Structure 1
Amino acid sequence: MQVTAEEFSSTRHELPDGGRWTELVEGRPVVLDPPDEIYGTIVLNLSKAIGTAMRADRSIDAAPCFDLGIQTLHDPDTIRFPAAVAFRGGDRFGEVGEVIADRVPEVAIEIAADPQRRLHCAERILEYHDAGVGAVWVIDPHEQALTIAPREGLPAIYREDDPLVPLIDLELAVTIEDLFAIPKWYR
């Protein structure tokens, strides 16, 4: 039995782990493997870099979100949950508490940390682009690299000592290598 995006959104919390690792793919809930430690480390480092950049320049017109669904296909519906998304304009906290975004993000960030997430990366990039997402970042801990796939143009790969490119207008003052570093307080 297929479910719609609306039905999925209203019942996601009833799924195992509150639906945290569940996406809707062509109308069917699909449970992903829970992310590993490196996935969490990358999200932590990325969120810290974003927070630092937003505090440094409060005039920036960007709104990043974590764990927010993006509807990429309709009839049957597909809802993907990238590690993070960033919107241009609008209320910085307008998406807080939502399961599915009401608008299309400028950037979707995927972390290819495990075989399941790596396997479907190309498919997800195409879905995001078809849905109108401007660029997809794929952070790959195995390659210690960031690939940015714009909707128009060729992908670019950044490695190790390369600085992290701006996220919309946010200047993130870290290198690619910094994304993979275990925080000193955690050791």
Structure 2
Amino acid sequence: MGADAAFILARSFPIRESKEGYLETIPEIVVEIRSKNDTQPEIASKVTEYLDAGTLVVWILDPDEQTVTAHRLDQPAQIFRSGDNLTCSDLLPGFATPVVRLFGGV
């Protein structure tokens, strides 16, 4: 399993790696960018895999729809659209970025 981006908060430091160099520290946030070849079942499987491993939030960026879907264990998915700000106040206090900027907009 290899995320497009992963965020490990300072509280999880020091980062642990296997002797082969694989990350053993579970990131709090994982980002996946949906490609044209990704099916919905493949995306759902990745989300489940990350959450089951202990990731707290999985963001799925969909360039075609220009949305970010935030997944958390045992919670309904939250969809951020191009007019919204992407936030994650419990893990990243003060973080907010316009979703449209993630897809090359102003």
TM (normalized to structure 1)?
0.47
Tell me the alpha carbon deviations over residues 77-131 of structure 1, each in whole angstroms, 9 at most, x when there is no partner. Answer: xxx1111111231338x469x8421221111110003213766111101111111
C-alpha distance in 2 between matches for 1:166 and 1:130: 20
Query: Counterparts of 1:100-179 in structure 2 under 5 Å?
Result: 100-116=22-38, 120-166=42-88, 168-169=91-92, 171-179=94-102
C-alpha distance in 1 between matches for 2:16 and 2:86: 25
Aligned to 1:87: 8
C-alpha distance in 2 between matches for 1:126 and 1:109: 13
Q: 1:149 to 1:178 in 2, by over 3 A?
A: same
Question: Number of residues paired by the alignment?
Answer: 102
Structure 1: 5+ residue stretches without partners = 1-79
Q: Could you tell me which amino acid in structure 2 is paired with residue 86 of structure 1?
A: F
Q: 1:160 to 1:182 in 2, by over 3 A?
A: closer
Q: Could you tell me which amino acid in structure 2 is paired with residue 132 of structure 1?
A: G
The structure carrying a bigger helix percent of its residues is 1
Root-mean-square deviation (Å): 2.7
Structure with larger Rg: 1
Q: Could you tell me which amino acid in structure 2 is paired with residue 109 of structure 1?
A: V
C-alpha contact (below 8 Å) 1:161/1:177 kept by paired residues: yes
Query: SS in structure 2 opposite 1:116?
Result: coil
Q: 1:99 to 1:115 in 2, by over 3 A?
A: farther
Structure 1 moving runs of 4+ over 6 Å: none
C-alpha distance in 1 between matches for 2:32 and 2:39: 8
Tell me the alpha carbon deviations over residues 44-99 of structure 1, each in whole angstroms, 9 at most, x when there is no partner. Answer: xxxxxxxxxxxxxxxxxxxxxxxxxxxxxxxxxxxx1111111231338x469x84
Aligned to 1:69: none
| Offset at residue 159 of structure 1 (A) | 0.3
Structure 2: 5+ residue stretches without partners = none
Q: Could you tell me which amino acid in structure 1 is paired with residue 12 of structure 2?
A: G
TM (normalized to structure 2)?
0.79
C-alpha contact (below 8 Å) 2:12/2:25 kept by paired residues: no
